[in-house]
Structure 1
Amino acid sequence: MPIGEDALGNYAYQIEIDGVTIAQFKEVSGLSAEIQVIEHKENKKGGIPVIKKLPGARKWGDIQLKRGKTDDPSWWKWIKQVQEGKIDEARKHGSIVLYDYARGEKARFNFTNAWPSKVSIGSLQAGGSEIIIEEVTLVHEGLELA
């Protein structure tokens, strides 16, 4: 009798942007794909109303990345490209790669034409004992499971 594969843990992943691995993210969210629904109302023979549902525009969730703030300014430089209107330079391709327990690649979500719409750091607190969290929101034009 075959035994099913184990589910993947949510802890073993990496992020690649334009082929470069970006390490040390504590959280990734927003990996989603959606197809909007177009409802078309019509009458069948005998005047019976029906609603047909057709696929509409595709839509993908914004990717949220969180990590401990370091002295690396690359996210801020990237969003500055967008602020300066250099969107063609700012668009990048990337992947979220999932690994199994033995660190073998199990899934790869590729996104296209991504750019940061938001970069922020968490709150600062006198006397605090937490690390500063840097958050990045990436918008993109496509997500697929490779």
Structure 2
Amino acid sequence: MATLSNIEFLTAHNFYLELILDGSGQADAVFLECQGFQCTQDVIEVCEVTSNKWGQAQKGLPVRTKVPGNVKIGNLTLRRGASNSLTFWNWFKAVQEGNWANQRQDLALNILNKATQRKARYELSGAWPTNYKISDVNARSNELALEELEIAFEGFKRTM
């Protein structure tokens, strides 16, 4: 059990995302930004009338209870510097061509402490790309060109 004296707060900038697409066993990218790690629980409100009467009422007492409903998982957005790699594009293209069932991947977000030790891990399962985007280009800009991939996923759990 964590006590206040041994809680370590982690920073958002020290992370890596494990995503292996080409079968090489190597992670496919260094990401600048990962957004959308979200899992929410719907709330269902049930209203029942009990047999208990209250005040001058001739009918029972209404009671409201909140119970958990379906779990919803958001989409993930990954951003990295654009490069000559076709890995993301080929993954997106395979899904477009109807081969999506074979393209589903598992990935994991690892958050590191200042000593670069993994302190938190979130695993996502059944991930596949839904949107591919490159940043706008401008001849007067000196900003890094970005490649963006939106990924749908089915499972979300924290393992450490």
Aligned mates of 1:48, 1:22 — CA distance in 2: 60
Q: What TM-score do the two structures reach when normalised by structure 1?
A: 0.92
Shift of 1:25: 0.9
1:61 aligns with 2:67: no
Q: Which runs of 5+ in 1 are unaligned?
A: none
RMSD: 1.7
Asked if the contact 1:114–1:138 (Cα under 8 Å) also holds between the matched residues in 2, the reply is: yes
Q: Which residue of 2 aligns with 1:83?
A: 96
The superposition leaves residues 106-146 of structure 1 with CA deviations (integer Å, 9 ceiling, x where unpaired) of: 01100000001011011111221111111111100011001
Shift of 1:2: 6.8
* AA of the residue aligned to 2:29: A
Asked if the contact 2:28–2:87 (Cα under 8 Å) also holds between the matched residues in 1, the reply is: no
1:38 aligns with 2:44: yes
Matches within 5 A, 1:89-100: 89-100=102-113
Q: Percent identity?
A: 30
What SS does the corresponding residue of 2:95 show, helix, strand or coil?
A: helix
Q: Which residue of 2 aligns with 1:15?
A: 17
Structure number with greater Rg is 2
Q: Which residue of 2 aligns with 1:25?
A: 31
Q: What TM-score do the two structures reach when normalised by structure 2?
A: 0.85
Q: Which runs of 5+ in 2 are unaligned?
A: 54-59
What SS does the corresponding residue of 2:27 show, helix, strand or coil?
A: strand
The superposition leaves residues 34-73 of structure 1 with CA deviations (integer Å, 9 ceiling, x where unpaired) of: 1111111111222211221111111112111111111111
Aligned mates of 1:133, 1:118 — CA distance in 2: 14
What SS does the corresponding residue of 1:134 show, helix, strand or coil?
A: strand
Aligned mates of 2:134, 2:33 — CA distance in 1: 14
Work out the number of aligned pairs and report it.
146
| Shift >3 Å, 4+ stretches | none
